[in-house]
Amino acid sequence: MEDLYLKTLPGTRDLLPGEIGRWQAVEEHARRIFSNYAFLEIRTPIIEATELFARGIGGETDIVGKEMYTFRDQSGRSVTLRPEATASVVRAYIQNTMYRGGGITKLYYIGPMFRHEKKQKGRWRQFYQIGAEILGSDHPAADAEIIEIALHFLQSLGVESKLLLNSVGCPSCRPKYIEKLRSELQKHLPKLCADCNRRAATNTLRVLDCKVENCQPYINELPCITDYLCVECSDHFSRLKTYLEAAGIGYEPAPRLVRGLDYYVRTAFEIVSTELGAQNALAGGGRYDGLSELLGGPPVHAIGFALGLDRLVTLLPEERSAQWQWRPELFIAYMGEPAFNKALEIARELRRLNYACYLDFLPGSLKSQLRLANKLGAKHVLIIGDQELYRQRYALKSLQDSRQWELSFPELVQYLQSARKGSQT
Ligand code: HAM
């Protein structure tokens, strides 16, 4: 019988050393960009009380209804692996009274999320998000900044994308729209799919998100929420568009865009890639002014987004990915036990001086060591044999142009220093 425990669970995977360079570079890049926009990192637990997500995301959503990893812990309490981080961030904001001083709070996070979704290309059950949230502002410039940071981040990585923009109204104007939507839907229900029929009764707005081809002609005929916005929502939306235009950000109006989480009011947006297939959403977000109160906190205006790292990493231009692969600056090859001890000493010294060195514990012949150095993409190889040991001068071979010459340890340090400077210019 197959040992199933030797396989990752469906929808999960190992991120192996060969690809981790890309992930680390993207994460580092995110940290730099987010901090330029004055966002600070928050790390919330991966596991939370189930009620937090059931209330926050909405009981009728697919995420809460079908996709959460929920179980009872040893104390009998129902807990859930976080399917997203916004509810957790708001919980942390309330629990730590971060609203106390007034003003705005800007937070970002990077980490794994868990949704038991149907298997499909680009969908994982453990996936990674980078997200940012601004709490404490109802200014449409905050909405514009959230969109801008997401696009800036993608652009700076060389990833092409498109912004889809909508407003989903607020509790004062949305009910009127939903009433209209329901009455229009009544006419088409027998022709619509089972999911549409279920959603028409439970979470009417989500009908607009149906992807079934036969439903599309009817869905395209349904009224648009943007025609039902109250004066305040309409004003917020048009001011947001003015800020986006001033920032030179283009968008595609998407009057049928609804998101899979119930907390959104007013601004809702998605950033899609033209290069991905069906799962083309790279990022999604919007305003969630009522979420804090819904969770039992004070009234707080807030807006945020999250970006799917798994999808982003597949879109990174090849030349950038190669640049992010780990490469030793120096590979140390040695012949014989005394040379091995010297190699250990040199590697130790250089690592303390902050150079990336590779030293194998299974040396083999010089030829096989050089083969490994090439495979690892090392720039230089230091060769230590009996002769070199005796003279305290080592052979340095450049793998870029095959030159070889001799130097002492202090000369080696000097050379590595100038080689590093040269590769930076
Ligand atoms: P979301 O649209 O559910 O929003 O997820 C954001 C992004 O996470 C998606 O656009 C997609 O790139 C990625 N993603 C979602 N599910 C998967 C999956 N199964 N596999 C791979 N990638 C996935 C949220 O999570 C909200 N919390 C965003 C937000 C923050 N709204 C306000 N603040």
**Cα-trace Rg, the chain:** 28
**pTM across the whole model:** 0.93
Whole-number Å distance between alpha carbons of 126 and 101: 36
Find, among 179, 211, 185, 209, the residue nearest to 197 by Cα: 185
Q: Is the CB of 56 under 6 A from ligand 1?
A: no
Within 10 angstroms of residue 375's Cβ, the number of other Cβ atoms is 9
Could you read off the pLDDT of 152-201 as tens digits, one per residue?
999 999 999 999 999 999 999 999 999 999 999 998 889 999 989 988 88
292: closest CA among 104, 52, 46?
52
Ligand 1 atom nearest 63 alpha carbon? 3
Pocket test for ligand 1, best of 44, 257, 311, 313 (most atoms within 8 A of CB): 311
DSSP designation for 235: H
* Residues 296 and 49: beta-carbon distance below 8 Å: no
Contact assessment for residue 303 and residue 146, using Cβ atoms and an 8 Å cutoff: yes
Q: Ligand 1 atom 12: the closest Cα is on which residue? A: 308
Cα distances (Å, whole numbers) of residue 12 to 123, 124, 128, 273, 315: 10, 6, 11, 23, 19
In this structure, the residue with its CA closest to atom 14 of ligand 1 is 308
Give the model confidence (pLDDT) of 264-286 as tens digits: 999 999 999 988 777 789 999 99
Q: What is the 3-state secondary structure (H, E, C) of 182-202?
A: HHHHHHHHHHCCHHHHHHHHH
Q: In Å, how far are 5, 17, 166, 392, 397 from 385, measured between CA atoms? A: 46, 31, 69, 10, 14
pLDDT tens by residue, 269-328: 999 998 877 778 999 999 999 999 999 999 999 999 999 999 999 999 888 777 888 899
Closest protein CA for atom 1 of ligand 1: 284
For a substitution probing ligand 1, which of 129, 301, 311 has the most ligand atoms within 8 Å of its CB?
129
- Mean pLDDT split into 10-residue runs, the chain, 425 residues: 87 94 95 98 98 95 95 98 98 97 95 95 96 98 98 95 97 95 90 90 89 90 94 98 98 94 97 84 97 97 98 88 88 96 97 96 91 94 95 95 94 94 66
Q: How far apart are CA 127 and CA 418, in angstroms?
A: 41
**CA end-to-end span of the chain, whole Å?**
57
Contact 86 CB / ligand 1 (< 6 Å): yes
Tell how far the Cα of 354 is from the centroid of ligand 1, in angstroms: 38
